[in-house]
Each structure stands twice: as structure tokens, then as C-alpha cells.
Structure 1
Amino acid sequence: MSHTDTASRPSMGLTLWRQTWPMAIGVLSLLGFQLVDSAFIARLGTAPLAAQSFTFPLSFLIIGVQVGMGIAIAALISRALGAGEQDRARRLGSLVLLSGAGVIALLALLLWWIQAPVFLSLGAKPESLVLIRSYWNPQLISAWLGACLYFGYSLFRAHGNTRLPGVLMVTTSFANLALDPLLIFGVGSWPGLGLPGAAIATALAFALGLVILGWQLMGKEWLSSRGLMDEMRLSSRPFAGIAGPAMVSQLMPPLAAMLAISVVASLGEAQVAAWGLANRLETVSLMVVLAMTMSLPPWLGRCYGAGDWAQVHQLLRLALRVVVIWQLALGLVLAAASPWVAQALSGNPEVHGDLAVLVRFMLPSYAALGVCMLVVSAGNALGWPLRAMLMSAARLFVFYLPCLWIGSVLGGLTGLAIGAAVGNLLAGLAAWGLLRRVLSSPRRRMASF
């Protein structure tokens, strides 16, 4: 490593910290309120918590589409900015906000229309459909509002501003937490709405965030209404080239979640409820990784546009080191404290014992899962989205799901948890190998990796 590389490392580390910490706090608050949301619902009983858990795969489906589009937004706009094409960046910003809102609205309508057969295919009982529907209908509105908010976040991140998205995530999280007890349980003479109240609280919080985001955008010159049709013809192919594989990559986790919850449903309703809480805890524990998958790609995209592969190597090396150390330490601490974590999240004795088992075995494996997520995210920003998509597919369908299913057959819920952990470990090792092969090509071998 050269003297210049060594000298630049503290500066790069400081910049990475400044780009990531607002998003990390925002992600923590956003996912934290979802975890607390599920903890509130757990107080309503096992049936409402299981009903919410059955909606997670379809919620992840919507999130997968929005994240895939968000990746393309950040990549194209950051590349345009890196190449000095300010006017094109403005046109792209306008296009993606309009098209993104329309696509998610159509998807939400489709999922509303087909909800009954889908939930039955996931293992929900017919008598549970009324309870599931009462939550799912307002949740679809919440999902659309959240997607529009996310596209706005992507626009800010593409311009190097991670502070406002982080602040808005915190703001909407606190608004949701304030509304949750009121709308779920009620206060005074107000009886509350029960399970649907959780979705309505989230929708109101996201609506508040959109108002603030729109007000902030009014002071920026990041959008343009001129030449949008010409820009759509020019950018539709590169957008599809990034968004297509990225969307497929993001849609595979919801499909895997559907298959996983069908496996868990065969074990019982309490196990489904515990699995739902474990999924919420998983996303919270991955806050640093998720923040980096949002803050790092625009930076990598600018390096890609400028042809600076030496900085790409340094950025990825630093980010991977942070992810492994942080996730492994956090996972081991939570695994050691699994009985108390489970008790805090669910007072239901039918649920917290199973939840403790899931936490104990699965949380430490998220260090390897974080490596895989970071590699996939970097691939979409660095011009190899197809490899990233294939890596995402291999993680889920070659490593994770087969190991999870084999574990459940051999050892019930404990075997399922161990199998999921083994699948994450294998996926992380495979992603690391892919990254080394791609970045060792002659054109990109400008720093040792």
C-alpha cells in the first residue's frame, strides 16, 4: 500500500463515518419503531402478532421494488454528477420520483386484489383472513407513502446529503411511536383500533415525513421539468439495466420470506409469531449494514464515473472491515442476552422461548450476511448488477433456504435457526470470493484487496 493510500485512510474513514452515521441513526429509528410496533402488537395476543407476521413477505415485496428503483436512482444521478452533467441529474431526479410513485401504487393495488389466495398459500388459516385483512388494507397505503418517502431519500443520497434522510427517519419514527399506543390501545374513553391502528399510525407518520421532504426539496435545484420525454428515451435502457437486476435481487428476499414462513407455519402459530419478531430484530441489528448500503453506493458511483478504482478498493476494504467487526460483536452480545431480549419483546410465554432460540443462533451469523449485502449493493453501483443479482439469488436459494429447510426437518425450530445461520455463513464466504475475483481484473487492479 502506498504512502498516499495510508495517509488518505483516516480522511476516508472520517468521510465514510460522516456519510453513514446519519443513515445509521435513521435506519435504527425506522426499524426500531417497527420492532416496537410488533412488540405492541404482541401485547394484543399471539393471533394478531401471527397475522402481522404473515404480511411481512408481501411488505418486503413492495420494499424490494422500491429499493431496486432507489438503487438505480442513486447510481444514475451520482454518475451524472460525477461526470459533471448537472442538467441530466435534475431531469433524472424528476423522472424517478414520478415513475416510482406510479409503479408502487400499481403494485399496491395488485396486492390488495390478490391478498386472500396469497395469504392462504403462505399457511394462514381461513379464519385468520379477517384479522389479516384489517391490518393489510391500511398497511398498503402506508407502504405507498413510505415508498414515495424512500425515493425522496434516494434523491438526497445521490447528491451526497445523508443528514436529511437520517433526520426524517428519526422524525417519522418518533411520530409513529407516539401514535402507536393511542391508535392500537386507545386512551381514556377512546377504545383504540387494535391491530389496524399500527398500520394507520405508520401511514400518518410517513405522511408527515413527505410534507417535510417536499418542503425541503422546494429549496433545492435538483429537479427539472424540461426535456423529460427525451431524457426518458435516453435513460430508460441504463435505468432498466441497473434497476432490473437490482429489483430482481430485492424481490428474491420476499420470495424467500414467503417460502421460509410457509416452513415456519408448519411448526405452529406461536412459532410464526416468534419468527415475525425475529425478522424485526434482524433488520434492527443490521442497521449499520443497511445504512452503508444506502450511503456507500452513491460514493462508489461517483468513483465509478471518474474511473477512480483505487479509491473503490479502499472504500470497500474499510466498509467490509467495519461490517464484520460490528455485526459479530453485536450478534454475540445479543445471543448471550437472548432470554432477556426475548422477554422484553414478548411477554407471551408461548412466544418468547422460541424467540430466544432464534436470537441465540441467528444473530451472530449476520456478520456474514452483512458482507453479502454490502457486496450486492456495491455491485449495483460499480457496473456489475448481473453478478450482484446472481449473488443475491445464490444467498437465498442455494445457501439460506435449503439449510433452513433441512434444519427444520432434522431439528424443528432449533434446527431451523441453526440452518439459517449456516446458510448466512456460506453466503458471506461466497460473496467475499466473488468480490475478490471481480476487483482483481486488470482494469480494476489498482490497489491490493
Structure 2
Amino acid sequence: MSQAAPTRSNNDLLNGPISDTLKRMTLPMILGMIMLMTFGLVDTFFVSLLGTDELAAISFTFPVTFTLISLNIGLGIGASATIGRYLGSGQSHLAKEYATGALMLAFVLVGILALTGAFTIEPIFKLLGATDDLLPYIRDYMLVWYGAGVFLAIPMVGNSVLRAAGDTKTPSMIMASGGFINAVLDPILIFGWGPIPAMGIQGAALATAIAWGLSLIYILYLLGVKRKLMLPRLLTWSELKLTSGGVLRIGLPAAGANMLTPIAAGVITAIIAGYGPEAVAAWGVGSRLESIACILILSLSMSLPPFISQNYGANKIDRVRQSYLLSLKFVVVIQLIIYLLLWLLAPYIAAIFAEEQRVADLIILFLYIVPLGYGLQGIVILTNSSFNAMHQPLSALTLSIIRLFVFLVPLAYLGSQLDDIKGLFWGTVVANLCTASVAFAWFMRRSRSNSIEQSQMKKGS
């Protein structure tokens, strides 16, 4: 029974109708991420009730917290690509060994990064532009969140193992459950309830730690006991070195590409900090709203790679290209509709998240401009995912560098010089347009060259 699921999934990916297969894989991810991101907005809402300083403080933490999350995402990409290959070829023991190695590797690397972060809170956040009056709030939040980040490593990589085995429904349920627990605990720990004292912004971080700690326990039980997708023991040093090499070959460039995003976000946050804490607070709310608005893109970026990877391995380049183009058309149309909705609802959204008029005005300005580029950003994200699925992580890394440091940061800064924060917002839209053009042309050229190579191989055989 344990062998049947991967085989059936593999046949569907290689031979099933492209649109139906992607829909079947993506729908559970969309539902799970809607729940998770909605609870993330609830988290931001409760913190906003504490005041503008607390909201600004948590906004400063996004680039740093996303660094740890990006490492987990990269390791998950490497684990999924490697494990999926072994499951597809029937080498289940190697798949279990690599799954165990990926989980151990994630725990160790994220633990080292979190420990380093805990001892460098003040210099890092001063570098990002945080003022002395915000640092106590940031310190209270991050000291607890770093522990939560270690708890998060195992569920995130564990979910990638499940997706590699063809299961996209369970990871969605785990994400949604973690977000729900976090949302329930937020008001209790932030404002206090009965014998539980009010912890303020630190309570928000503790709620996250508890939610992902419970997720960690469940995912280990699921992988090790119920599904038997990992070994019931720790790897030896030689086994860990072998599996780590396989995972890191794809995962390290993918992690590097993801970790560049918070670095660029940190630079932009520092620029925005020059406009005051109200601007930082508005940018933080906008960033959380972006996560909700781009749920479809993020979901496809997790369901499209297994499809592309399997078909690329089977030399079905036409199916690779068709799935890529179909996904791009879909996200561009959907994101345009989402932009129109955000434009219409902007004043009402701002009223929910802002107590001060200045913050509300900046949130409205953000929603009038920045979401216009989300569909273009989706092209870049899906191209990156496709490159990783085709075992070309260096191409994905290069594309990320181009997006962030050739276009996004320079054009955002240039826009701020020309038209203050409004110009900065427009700079992000132009940057996404430029990068999307590069990404699309690059992928189509690469897929055409793969088709030519495939034809030559057939002729040679």
C-alpha cells in the first residue's frame, strides 16, 4: 500500500490532463494557505491593537524572520526534488534515508542561524533602521520567535516530504491547523486571560512557538509512524553527510535565492524607515496583505514543481512548457482581478489595520499601486520554481539576484528620490515588469534548447 500512492501520483503527473492535474494538486494548497495567511493577518491585527510602535516593531522583524523561513523553504525544495526521484524509481529505502537527513539538516542549520540571531538582535535591527524606542519591543518578540523558528523547520521540510510523495492535502491541513492555533492563542497571550498575564508583543511570538511546536510533534509522528516515510532513527554521521550533499545540491541555491528576498526587503525597509514609523507600519501591513493576495501564486509554486520535475525527468518537455504557460496565464488574470478588488476595498482595509490617519493613508496608497505588480511577480516566482524542478537551481538563484538587486532595490530607491514613498511603490511595480520579461524569455529559451537536445538524442538512438 505504501508503494501504490507514489506510483499512482507519478502516472497522473506524466499522463493526466495538465489543467486537471494541476488543479487537483493546487486546490488543497490554496485552501490551506488561505487559512494560514488569514490567521497571519489576525496576528497582525491583534498586535496593531497594542499601538503603532508595536506594529512598527513587528514590521521590522519581517525581513529577519523570513530569512529563517527561506532557509526552510530551500531545504524543502532540495528534499522534495531528491525524495520524489527515489520514490518514483521505487527506491523507498533511499527516500526514507534522505527524508530523515533533510529533517536533521534543517534542525541543525536553522538552530545555528537562530542562535546567532538571538545574540545579534540589536546590531541587526539598528542596521535595518529601527530606533531605540522600538528595540525593546523587537527584542521581546525575536527572543521567543527564534525558538519558534527552530520548531517551524521540521514541519516545513516534513511537508515537502509529503508533497514529494504526492500528498498536497495533508501539508495544507498542517499549515492551516498551525495558523488556527496561533490565532486562538494570540489574544489570550497578548492581552491576558484569567490567570494568564498580558505579555504584549511577546505573547504573539509565544503563540507562534506553541503552534509550531505542536505541528512538529504531529509531523514526526505522521512521517515516522503512520506513513513510514522516514527512518525510525537518527542517521549516522556518514549517512548524514551523504544525504545532506544530495539535498544541499539543489536546496542550498534555492535557500540562497529565498534568503536574498529578506535582504532586499531589509534594504527597502531601511529606506521606508526614513519616512517615519507610520510608513514602516503601513509597509508591514501591506506585506502581510501581499501574502494573502498572492496565495494562488505561492500555492502553484509548490504544486507546479513536482509536475514539472516528473515530466522533465521523463523527457516530456512539451508538457513542461504547456504547464508553465498555463500557470502563467492563470496567475496574471487572477492577480489582475485581485488588484481591482484591493483597489476598491483599500479604504475599508486601511480602517481595519490603522488607528492613525497617516498610517491609513499610506496603506491606501500602497494598495492603489503595489498590487498592480503581483501578477508580474508571479511570473518570476513560478519561473524560479520551474528552474528548481528542472534541477537548474543556479538559474533560479541568478534570476532572484537579477530581480532583487538589478531591478527591485535600485528602482525602488530611484522612485523614492523622484517622488518620495509614492515613487518607491511605483518602483516595485516597474521592477516586477522588467524581471518578468527576463524570466519568461529565459525559460522559453531554455525549454526550446531542451526540446532540441531531446530530438537529437532520439535521432542518435
TM-score of the two chains, using structure 1 as the length reference: 0.93
Contact 1:82/1:303 (<8 A) preserved: no
Distance in 1, Cα, partners of 2:373 & 2:413: 17
Equivalent residues in 2 for 1:380-399, closer than 5 Å: 380-399=388-407
Q: 2:32 maps to which residue?
A: 26
For the structure 1 residues 133 and 234, does the alpha-carbon distance in structure 2 shift closer, same or farther, using more than 3 Å as the test?
closer
Match of 1:205 among 205, 211, 227: 211
What's 1:376 paired with?
A: 384
Measure how far apart 1:112 and its partner are.
0.5
CA deviation string 1:11-51 (max 9, x = no partner): 32122111111111112222221222112111111100111
Tell me, in whole angstroms, the C-alpha distance in 2 between the residues paired with 1:349 and 1:278.
Answer: 16
User: Is the partner of 1:337 in helix, strand or coil?
Assistant: helix
**Contact 1:39–1:346 at 8 Å: present in 2 too?**
no
1:259 alignment partner in structure 2? 267
In structure 1, how many angstroms separate the alpha carbons of the residues matched to 2:210 and 2:201? 15
1:176 is aligned to 2:182 = yes
Q: Structure 1, residues 225-276: CA drift from partner, whole Å, max 9, x if none?
A: 5986555454444433212211211111011011010000011110011111
Question: How has the CA–CA distance of structure 1 residues 234 and 306 changed in structure 2, closer, same or farther, with 3 Å as cutoff?
Answer: farther
Alpha-carbon offset, residue 10 of structure 1: 8.1
Counterpart of 1:305, as a letter, is G
Q: Identify the residue that residue 54 of structure 1 maps to in structure 2.
A: 60
How is 1:206-245 mapped onto 2 (pairs within 5 angstroms)? Answer: 206-217=212-223, 218-224=225-231, 225=233, 231-245=239-253
Please point out which of 178, 188, 192 is paired with 1:186.
Answer: 192
Please, which of 410, 418, 432 is the counterpart of residue 410 of structure 1?
418
**Of the candidates 250, 254, 257, which is equivalent to residue 249 of structure 1?**
257
2:297 to 284, 289, 292: 289
Whole-angstrom distance in 2 between the partners of 1:71 and 1:432: 21
Residues 189, 92 of structure 1: alpha-carbon distance in 2 compared, 3 angstrom cutoff: closer
Verify the 8 A CA contact 1:95 1:228 in the aligned structure 2: no
CA contact (8 A) 1:57 1:255 kept: yes
Are the structure 2 counterparts of residues 228 and 270 from structure 1 closer, same or farther at C-alpha, using a change threshold of 3 Å? same
Question: What SS does the corresponding residue of 1:125 show, helix, strand or coil?
Answer: coil
Alignment of 1:19-418 (within 5 A): 19-187=25-193, 190-217=196-223, 218-224=225-231, 225=233, 231-418=239-426
In 1, the alpha carbon distance for the partners of 2:243 and 2:50 equals 49
CA drift of 1:423 comes to: 1.0
Task: Using the TM superposition, give the Cα deviation of residue 305 of structure 1 relative to its aligned residue in structure 2, in angstroms.
Answer: 2.8
State the 1:299 CA deviation. Answer: 2.4
1:338, 1:226 → 2: CA distance?
A: 51
Q: Establish whether residue 440 from structure 1 lines up as the match of residue 451 from structure 2.
A: no
- Please say if 1:421 is aligned against 2:419: no
1:136 to 1:92, Cα distance in 2 relative to 1, 3 A: same
CA distance in structure 2 between the aligned counterparts of 1:445 and 1:318, rounded to whole angstroms: 23
Whether 1:14 and 2:14 are equivalent positions in the alignment is: no
Question: What is the CA-CA distance between 1:314 and the residue it aligns to?
Answer: 2.2
Describe the SS at the equivalent of 1:192: coil
**Structure 2 CA distance, aligned partners of 1:261 and 1:381?**
31
Q: Which runs of 5+ in 1 are unaligned?
A: 1-7
d(CA) in 2 for partners of 1:442, 1:251: 29
Find the aligned partners of 1:121 and 1:230 in 2 and give their Cα distance.
40
> Counterpart in 2 of 1:5?
none
Deviates more, 1:338-347 or 1:369-378: 338-347
- Give the aligned CA root-mean-square deviation in angstroms: 2.0
Question: Among the aligned pairs, what percent are the same residue?
Answer: 34
Deviation at 1:216, TM superposition (A): 2.1
1:328-363 per-position Cα deviation (integer Å, ceiling 9, x unaligned): 211221123211121122233231110110111011
Secondary structure of residue in 2 paired with 1:397: helix
Provide the secondary structure at the position in 1 that maps to 2:227: coil
Q: CA deviation at 1:396?
A: 0.7
Name the CA distance, whole Å, in 1 between partners of 2:311 and 2:92: 17
CA apart distance, 1:190 = 4.9
**Letter in structure 2 aligned against 1:64:** S
> Is contact 2:317–2:450 with CA below 8 Å preserved after alignment?
no
* 1-structure distance, mates of 2:48, 2:452: 50
> Secondary structure, in 3 states, of the residue corresponding to 2:17?
helix
- 1:234–1:203 CA distance, 2 compared to 1 (3 A): closer
**Distance in structure 2 (CA, Å) of the matches to 1:181 and 1:133:** 20
Are the counterparts in 1 of residues 72 and 106 from structure 2 also a CA contact under 8 Å? Answer: yes
Corresponding letter in the other structure for 2:176: V
Instruction: Write out per-residue CA displacement over residues 408-431 of structure 1, whole angstroms, 9 at most, x where no aligned residue.
Output: 111112111111111112111211
For residues 99-134 of structure 1, what are the alpha-carbon distances to aligned partners after superposition, in whole Å with 9 as ceiling and x for unaligned?
A: 111111111000011111111111111232112101
TM-score by length of 2: 0.91
**Would the aligned equivalents of 1:289 and 1:323 in 2 still touch at CA under 8 Å?**
yes
Counterparts in 2 of 1:363 and 1:231: CA distance versus 1, 3 Å: same
- How many Å separate the matches in 2 of 1:64 and 1:208? 21
Contact 2:290 2:371 in 1 (8 A): yes
